Chain A
């Protein structure tokens, strides 16, 4: 069974950047889309963007365009999310989540579909 294990909590200063990792173990990595979803304290879920590792091209939510970079390293089965120009409103738990469908098996679908495997979450605190 595939597991996604994320890097540990971070405390950052306003204006700096943070890079969170998400390592997959126990199954196929490259042909499943990985998305990043964040959740501010007491708030709802917010999709930030995603990537299909075998293609390497990321899609971003309009809100985060220019400030977020999502990458993937197939050799280590690890996805990364880097968020720059941090502000206090970026304080949140950041989750990586894997799409349900394998794009090699279902090449016609356009991710994201549904997220059936989630990482444990990484708390990022932005504070001066």
Chain B
């Protein structure tokens, strides 16, 4: 199984919006509504930001939103803030397992 495809890096200025894509296949992203997004700061454990495509856990800012179209899921961060600078990983359920994307480094300029 290959990892889900994410852009290696994205950047934006404070206050702007950015979108990170996550492309899989009909066997994972396209086949299930179990796509999640994680934020990871250097040296820290990942933090769940979005689950089941578009749901936010309690405590996660509503500046984070998720969506899916076909085999591609997306994470949008609006009103970029300095603390949003981190690595972001998507994941998808597939046949009693899960796979992650390669990760995207978000730089806030």
Contacts and interface: CB of A to CB of B under 8 A. Distances in A.
A97 B103 CA distance: 18
A44 B48 contact: no
A113 interface: yes
Contacts, number: 64
A105 interface: no
Contact of B101 (A44, A61, A62): A44
A121 B43 CA distance: 9
Contact of B46 (A45, A49, A61, A110): A45
Contacts of B91: 45, 47, 114
Nearest to B58: A116
B100 A46 contact: yes
Interface in B3-54: 3, 34, 36, 38, 45-48, 51-52
B98 A100 contact: no
A118 B96 contact: no
A27 to B, nearest CB: 15
B48 A47 contact: no
A114 B1 CA distance: 19
A63 B100 CA distance: 14
A110 B96 contact: yes
Contacts of A14: none
Counting chain B CB atoms within 10 Å of each CB, the highest count among A95, A114, A116 belongs to A114
A59 B96 contact: yes
Contacts of B89: 44-45
B57 interface: yes
Contacts of B48: 100, 114-116
Interface in A13-58: 35, 37, 44-47, 49
Contact of B97 (A61, A95, A114, A118): A61
A93 to B, nearest CB: 9
A45 B45 contact: no
A47 B97 contact: yes
A112 B45 contact: no
A44 B100 contact: yes
A120 interface: yes
Given A47-B91, A61-B1, A112-B97, 8 more contacts: A35-B98, A44-B100, A45-B103, A62-B1, A63-B1, A112-B98, A114-B48, A116-B57
